Chain A
Amino acid sequence: MSDLTQTLPQVKSGPDWVLIRKRTRSFIAHAFVLTLVAIMLLPLFYMVMMSFKTSTEIAQDPLGLPESLYWGNYMAALSSMGYVRSVLNSIGITISVIVVVVLTGAMAAYPLARMNNRISKTIVMVMALGLATPNFVTITPIYVIFRDLGLLDSYLGIVLAFAALKLPLAVFFYTGFIAAIPMDLEEAAKLDNCNSWQIFWHVIRPLLAPVTATLSLFIMIMVWNDFIYPLLLLTDKSKLTVMIAVYKFVGNTGIDPTKLFPAAVLGSLPLLIMFVAFQRKIMAGATAGAVK
């Protein structure tokens, strides 16, 4: 025992430079990330702050903090924007789009991921084109087609439009993920008397849970915040989404900041709530559904 301790190298006293360097590096990295986060949160903070200021405060000191939390703006915005109705519209449309895109996307991706021939490769290429097409290119054709189909100003129309636009993303997500699921699992299922549909439903689909959560989150944010398509396809006031309702406060002649900012906060609030709820799901899904 005593032999052993003697042969060990002496521990040097004084500063441990390796540790100090490591700590410094980690400190700098953290400071950098925190700065980025602060920059990103600034507009949000500004929006919330503005929503509590009276019109005089805004006029006198647009960048200052409000003196007290003034809830009057919220009352005014709520009463003039049809909040509940438009939030329900947004939620309904967003959820419908997610359901349609997730189901059809996964079902389309499954054969595409498993077949390895020219046809399936071509389809994947076309899907990639769909991803790369700028929004503005599709606006006019979608409007004309939906007008001719009589789908203007209907929930079905707006859901179909969003679903079609987001489908390429879903197919892309899912093909990569399904391709990574080992064939053995499917073969085991075949021996367990499953037909193709049952393999998809009982074996593939449950394994897609984590990627589905991530994808749904993406779609949720995009659909919720989009206002080009609702503006294009919906005119009936009762069918408008919440983001359009917010945008109504940006008038042709001027902006009413006392209503716009609280409306913007109110418009993003449900999204924030859903986001937080979803995030837990993602974590749960990521750990539960992992292959192997």
Chain B
Amino acid sequence: MAELSMNKVVKRYGATQVVHGVDLDIKDGEFCVFVGPSGCGKSTLLRMIAGLEETSEGRMTIGPKDVTHFDPAERGVAMVFQTYALYPHMTVRENMSFGLKISGEDKTVIKEKVDKAGQILKLADYMDRKPKALSGGQRQRVAIGRAIVRQPDVFLFDEPLSNLDAELRVEMRVEIARLHKQLGATMIYVTHDQVEAMTMADKIVVLRAGRIEQVGAPVELYENPDNLFVAGFIGSPRMNFFDGEVIELGFHQVMVTVPRLGNVVVPVAVQSELRLGQPVTLGLRPEHFDPKGDVKVTLPIDVHENLGGVSYVYSNSDEADLPIIVELRGQRPPVGSDLEIGLNPEFALLFDPQSEERIR
């Protein structure tokens, strides 16, 4: 068990820099999820923590130790790979025992630990099979078992569920969450999957192009994003963004007109000083459209996606901008008609279109 801390960590491949001075603290026992678009450096950062990639600059500590230049095995970390990376020529038991055997652990101790891990992961019946004779989910469990038996301070997962089908993903997601509770270990988890990130994380780290955009609890990132990128990245379907202009200043509140919504005037609460005529970007999540909302808008319906409980309406999709997405419950208006709906201005967020930062 240990906390992990990164201080101005940089990664360069030759002349190209892919991680730009990341500062991050992860508490003991925390479940931390890295998210971000493809190529933003999630795996690279994770592999730097594992010691599989050299850290070009900066320091990294796990517990009391400065591990910046430690070998992978000395760091007290275990990693679960996306491809499982099981040794094909070894049985499940041998796969899980291998690390301990190499480290010179006592045979009876190894057996005890491996049996226990096999029990936790419901692998007891497969101990003598080769990985080839296992299903994807079972292989993933073996990979996790291999990590568990080493009793690491920090578990690292690189998109561990992305090769599984949807149903198995949910199952394994729950299982990993359970494991986290049971072991109480620090876990760092890379994923593309919004749902995984939102449901599993104590803390989400949003990365873009090798930089941290925001760190926070899932709900915090969802309700209170620091910038346009995080607002647009967290949440599915994504947040709607509208160009707007400040037309009236009030006490801790401004009036914003939104041309794309038929020049409706939306009152938004802000603390900062704005000026009249200032261009702003207004963000509103699909679920914050509401038939009972104070501000009424009319939207032509281009596409209607019905998911059962909720449905999504896509509007104005023929314009150059991204379509406006509206979440509906119960209502099933026909495609081609106009949707009369209100919006809840208390949920609207303002951003500076230039710096893309949030205006609070």
Contact with B along A171-211 (1 / 0, CB 8 A): 00000000000101101111111100010001100110100
Q: Indicate if B269 sits at the interface (CB-CB under 8 A).
A: no
Contact B102 A202 (CB under 8 A): yes
Complex: A194 Cα to B74 Cα, angstroms: 11
Residues on A with C-beta less than 8 A from B71 are: 190
Q: Indicate if B77 sits at the interface (CB-CB under 8 A).
A: yes
Most chain A CB atoms below 10 A, which of B51, B89, B146: B89
Complex: A188 Cα to B85 Cα, angstroms: 7
Can you give 26 A-B contacts (C-beta < 8 A)?
A182-B83, A185-B87, A187-B50, A187-B52, A187-B81, A187-B85, A189-B98, A190-B52, A190-B71, A190-B72, A190-B73, A191-B50, A191-B78, A191-B79, A192-B98, A192-B102, A192-B150, A193-B99, A193-B102, A202-B98, A202-B102, A203-B87, A209-B89, A290-B132, A291-B88, A292-B132
Contact A193 B88 (CB under 8 A): no
Most chain B CB atoms below 10 A, which of A187, A190, A191, A193: A191
B:76-110 near A, CB below 8 Å: 77-79, 81, 83, 85-89, 98-99, 102-103
In this complex, what residue of B is CB-closest to A194? Answer: B102
> Which label, helix, strand, loop or mixed, suits the secondary structure of the A interface?
helix
In this complex, what residue of B is CB-closest to A191? Answer: B72
Q: How large is the interface on A (under 10, 10 to 19, 20 to 34, 35 or more residues)?
A: 20 to 34
Q: Indicate if A156 sits at the interface (CB-CB under 8 A).
A: no
Q: Indicate if A62 sits at the interface (CB-CB under 8 A).
A: no
Complex: A117 Cα to B321 Cα, angstroms: 47
Partner of A288, one of B73, B81, B89, B150: B89
Q: Indicate if A92 sits at the interface (CB-CB under 8 A).
A: no
Q: Indicate if A64 sits at the interface (CB-CB under 8 A).
A: no
Residues on B with C-beta less than 8 A from A192 are: 73, 98-99, 102, 146, 150
In this complex, what residue of A is CB-closest to B47? Answer: A187
Contact A182 B85 (CB under 8 A): yes
Residues on A with C-beta less than 8 A from B132 are: 290, 292
A-B contact sample (18 more), CB < 8 A, given A187-B81, A188-B85, A202-B98: A185-B85, A187-B52, A187-B72, A187-B85, A191-B73, A191-B78, A192-B73, A192-B102, A192-B150, A193-B99, A193-B102, A193-B103, A194-B73, A194-B102, A198-B102, A206-B89, A207-B89, A209-B89
Complex: A198 Cα to B87 Cα, angstroms: 13
Complex: A291 Cα to B83 Cα, angstroms: 12
Most chain A CB atoms below 10 A, which of B77, B83, B150: B83
Complex: A265 Cα to B300 Cα, angstroms: 90
Residues on B with C-beta less than 8 A from A198 are: 102
Residues on A with C-beta less than 8 A from B89 are: 206-207, 209, 288-289
In this complex, what residue of A is CB-closest to B50? Answer: A191
Residues on B with C-beta less than 8 A from A202 are: 98, 102
Contact A188 B81 (CB under 8 A): yes
Residues on B with C-beta less than 8 A from A188 are: 79, 81, 85-87, 146
Complex: A36 Cα to B40 Cα, angstroms: 58
* Distance in Å: Cβ of B92 to nearest Cβ of chain A: 14
Complex: A190 Cα to B87 Cα, angstroms: 12
Contact A184 B83 (CB under 8 A): yes
Contact A184 B88 (CB under 8 A): no
* Distance in Å: Cβ of A247 to nearest Cβ of chain B: 43
In this complex, what residue of A is CB-closest to B158? Answer: A184
In this complex, what residue of A is CB-closest to B81? Answer: A184
Contact with B along A259-292 (1 / 0, CB 8 A): 0000000000000000000000000000011111
A:96-119 near B, CB below 8 Å: none
Complex: A292 Cα to B134 Cα, angstroms: 11
Residues on B with C-beta less than 8 A from A187 are: 50, 52, 72, 79, 81, 85
